[in-house]
């Protein structure tokens, strides 16, 4: 599904090069459940941006769904992302003045579905994450756990092959975090979406089938 071979990513900052990834190799296969852990600044989010086709390596090879991102134009990257990847972030990133239903329907705009079909699909996805009763609520009218479930529904509505979650439980209390994780695992089991979760929480990481530890821009254990 995703192949990362000797990938480096450095940022240019005030004429100085900051090496965020210094030669990372890994594979995400269909249906995988992977946790990425490591200290702050070790390159976890940088790696997630690459896995999600939001960014390109400075060097090395990155294949997403069989396509070498180095050969893709920006619009081709956007299309690949919309068709293959779902993202969930620590701070939900929902549109504040938009209902749960319309937040979830938004990624379908790029699919050429009409408004009625988009809303029907969004409604079904909200039902799936247990939020059928919150369709007309706006983000500030929902709890943190509910907002994160809306974000998960938005990530899933396009039926991605890979769900990338960067600290998805970071802003939630323990109990709500466990519920969100239960939901992600259920989706992994039932629809086979590959799950890649960045976490600082070792209890969260322990639940994954594969654990990747990063340090200073390198994978130190697979
Ligand atoms: N846009 C940027 N410009 C310059 N340097 C950056 C940029 N983004 C990240 N970095 C640097 O790259 C390194 C890796 O950052 P990254 O965000 O991937 O870390 P992380 O493992 O996700 O950390 P955290 O656990 O705190 O989220 C850090 O040293 C960071 O300062
Ligand atoms: Mg990060």
Q: Tens digit of pLDDT for each residue in 9-44?
A: 999 989 999 999 999 999 999 999 999 999 999 999
Q: Quote the tokens at residue 31.
A: 């249906």
Q: Is the CB of 74 under 6 A from ligand 1?
A: no
Cβ of 18 below 6 Å from ligand 1:
yes
Q: How far apart are the C-alpha atoms of 187 and 181, rounded to whole Å?
A: 10
Between CA 157 and CA 18 the distance in angstroms is 36
Q: Which of 182, 128, 188, 146 is nearest to 163 (CA)?
A: 188
Cα radius of gyration rounded to whole Å, the chain: 17
Helix or strand holding residue 27 (H, E): strand 16-28
Give residue-wise pLDDT tens across range 80-117: 999 999 999 888 899 999 999 999 999 999 888 999 99
In tens, the pLDDT along 111-155 reads 889 999 999 999 999 998 899 999 999 999 999 999 999 999 999
Where do the domains of the chain lie, and which CATH numbers do they carry? 2-221 (3.40.50.300)
| Tokens 């490591």 belong to residue | 38
3-class SS shares of the chain: helix, strand, coil, % to 5: 40, 30, 30
Write the burial class of residue 13 (CB in 10 Å: 0-12 exposed, 13-18 middle, 19+ buried): exposed
Q: How far is CA 206 from CA 34, 56, 62, 178, in A?
A: 10, 29, 27, 12
The minimum-distance atom of ligand 1 relative to the CA of 214 is 21
- 3-class DSSP state for residue 213? strand
Which residue from 37, 38, 41 has its CB within 8 A of the most atoms of ligand 1, so it is best to mutate?
41
């Amino acid at each position: 599904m995703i192949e990362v071979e000797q990938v480096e990513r450095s940022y240019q900052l005030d004429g100085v090069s900051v090496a965020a990834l210094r030669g990372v190799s890994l594979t995400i296969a269909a249906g995988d459940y992977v946790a990425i852990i490591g200290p702050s600044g070790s390159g976890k989010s940088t790696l997630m941006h690459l896995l999600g086709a939001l960014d390109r390596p400075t060097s090395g090879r990155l294949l997403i769904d069989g396509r070498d991102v180095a050969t893709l134009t920006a619009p081709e990257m956007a299309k690949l992302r919309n068709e293959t990847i779902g993202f969930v972030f620590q701070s939900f990133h929902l549109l504040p003045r938009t209902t749960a239903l319309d937040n979830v329907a938004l990624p379908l705009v790029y699919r050429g579905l009409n408004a009625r079909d988009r809303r029907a699909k969004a409604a079904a996805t909200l039902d799936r994450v247990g939020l059928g009763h919150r369709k007309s609520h706006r983000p500030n009218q929902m709890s943190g756990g509910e907002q994160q479930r809306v974000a998960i529904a938005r990530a899933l509505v396009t039926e991605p092959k890979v769900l990338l979650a960067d600290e998805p439980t970071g802003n939630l209390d323990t109990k709500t975090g466990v519920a969100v994780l239960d939901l992600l695992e259920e989706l992994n089991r039932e629809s086979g979406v590959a799950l890649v979760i960045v976490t600082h929480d070792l209890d969260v990481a322990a639940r994954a089938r594969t654990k990747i530890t990063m340090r200073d821009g390198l994978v130190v254990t697979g």
